[in-house]
Amino acid sequence: MTIKEFNSKFPTEEAAINHFIKIRYGGIITCPHCKSKNKVYRYRQVRKLCHCKSCNNSFSPFKGTIFEKTTTDLRLWFFAIRLFLNDRKGISSLQLQREIGVMQKTAWRMLHKIRQAMEDGDLKPFESLVECDETYVGGKPKRHPLKKGIDLSLIDSSEGYSLPKSPDVPSVGMGRGTKKIPVFGIKERESGRVYAQIMLPDGLGKKLTGKQLLAIIEKRCVEGITVITDDFSGYKILDKPDLLKLLDGLEPATRFDHKTVCHSSGVYVAPGGVHTNGIESFWALFKRGYHGTYHSMSVKYMQRYIDEFCFRQNTRKLPSFDVFDLLLKRSIL
């Protein structure tokens, strides 16, 4: 949404309030106390309050939303949402502070409320081929070969820094086994939809288990579809037969059609289009936002940041006004 389109659609605070009421109530305000629609009126002087003559109660049309009890103008909220949606890599609270003229704490709270609305609790299960992968979120490696004078010729570039050829080369800890936070993601190749979730194993630094990965895949994917992963040992559980199917003599006996691309051997695209490049491109964009915009994410709020990037990915093909209205609908908690 351009600034010209925004000013045309929301020229005043009144226009912003009217638009939200239309999104929430369809233009007809319903009293939350008695459910009446006939005798509900808005105050002339305080446009954010309504009064129901059927039960003689006053209420706010913003109750139960991310805008409840806010003292910031709704038009500023809408402008913040516009900025948030326009930037693919996110916007920091300091940048939002400079854009709309509020305090940094207010900007931080606004951004987290918007991220809260981006959570998709009704995500439809994936019904076609999906790619699954995990990534690790945290600081930069403390021991990098370029900084420690390590001979790079001793390191197999196809394996990454964490799997050196020689035992004399120390591990720099860029993924599994570190104290970084693991995040598991699924991307449907046909539609481009993404689901990602923070994973907390029993103790930082421990690997994800196959049972943890299988639980997410079973919850988010329709049984029987093709699942493509790398050669991480945790995914081997997908190849194990379902005991109930095995006893009933059903074929195939596995829950999913599991295909693997062997990254540890330097293979990234196997014959037949077997690769995980789609979900890895999503991780790349997420990491750009992490390092370039936010710089740090606490474990407490990391899932909200992940939901933010998933929302952008899943709505990238929709018109800007439709994405804006969709976010307003989800702002009703």
Q: In what order do the strands lie in the sheet with 226-229?
A: 194-198, 181-188, 130-137, 226-229, 257-260
**Above 80 in pLDDT, residue 254?**
no
Tokens 């599994």 -> residue: 176
**Above 90 in pLDDT, residue 150?**
no
Alpha-helix residue ranges (DSSP H) falling in the chain: 3-9, 13-25, 74-86, 93-100, 104-118, 145-148, 210-220, 243-248, 277-289, 302-314, 320-330
Mean pLDDT of 242-269: 72
pLDDT of residue 111: 94
Q: How confident is the model at residue 239 (pLDDT cuts 50, 70, 90)?
A: confident
Is residue 195 within 8 Å of residue 220, measured between CB atoms? yes
Read off the pLDDT of residues 16-32 as tens digits, 9 standing for 90 and up. 998 998 998 887 888 88
Q: How confident is the model at residue 139 (pLDDT cuts 50, 70, 90)?
A: low
**Above 50 in pLDDT, residue 168?**
no
Instruction: Say which range, 30-39, 89-98, 322-331, has the weakest mean pLDDT.
Output: 30-39
Instruction: Say which range, 89-93, 210-214, 252-256, has the weakest mean pLDDT.
Output: 252-256
Mean pLDDT of 53-69: 87
Q: How confident is the model at residue 114 (pLDDT cuts 50, 70, 90)?
A: very high
Mean pLDDT of 285-302: 89
**Above 60 in pLDDT, residue 94?**
yes
**Above 80 in pLDDT, residue 263?**
yes
Domains of the chain, start order: 3-118+318-330 (no CATH), 130-139+180-297 (3.30.420)
